[in-house]
Amino acid sequence: QAVVTQEPSLTVSPGGTVTLTCGSSTGAVTSGHYPYWFQQKPGQAPRTLIYHASNKHSWTPARFSGSLLGGKTALTLSGAQPEDEAEYYCLLFYNDIWVLGGGTKLTVL
């Protein structure tokens, strides 16, 4: 089974910009992996932020954006807010199976 890798933790200053990345053990992440990004705050259910690499749901704050970058998929947060402190998970599709990354704990400090 493929392994999806994320940075275990990142820190960003309030108002700053940070990029979280998500890679695949099988090679470059492409649009064919239909990448998703989920946000989960402590004690809460996850929330879907980004689908198909770069598309936002209606509830996704404008400061979040997704992309395919250098063989990975990336989630960029521009203008971090204290409420963005959370765990972020990447999800990739492989031949009818979804595989999650281990999550990135983002600290806003």
Partner 1 sequence: EVQLMESGGDLVKPGQSLRLSCTASGFTFGDYDISWFRQAPGKGLEWIGFITSKTYGERSQYAASVKGRFAFSRDDSKNVAHLQINSLNTEDTAVYYCTRGGRYELFDYWGQGSLVTVSS
Q: Looking at 20-28, 39-47, 61-69, 76-84, which segment touches partner 1 (CB under 8 A)?
A: 39-47
3-state secondary structure of 77: strand
Asked if 77 and 56 touch (Cβ cutoff 8 Å), the reply is no
Task: Indicate the residue among 17 and 31 with the shorter CB distance to partner 1.
Answer: 31
Residues contacting residue 58 through CB under 8 Å, at least 6 positions apart: none
User: Exactly one of 5, 19, 26, 40 binds partner 1 (CB under 8 A); which one?
Assistant: 40
Tokens of 14: 């309030």
Task: Indicate the residue among 12 and 37 with the shorter CB distance to partner 1.
Answer: 37
Q: Looking at 10-18, 25-33, 66-74, 101-109, which segment touches partner 1 (CB under 8 A)?
A: 101-109
Q: Looking at 20-28, 40-48, 62-70, 76-84, which segment touches partner 1 (CB under 8 A)?
A: 40-48
Rounded Cα gap, residues 78 and 15, in angstroms: 7
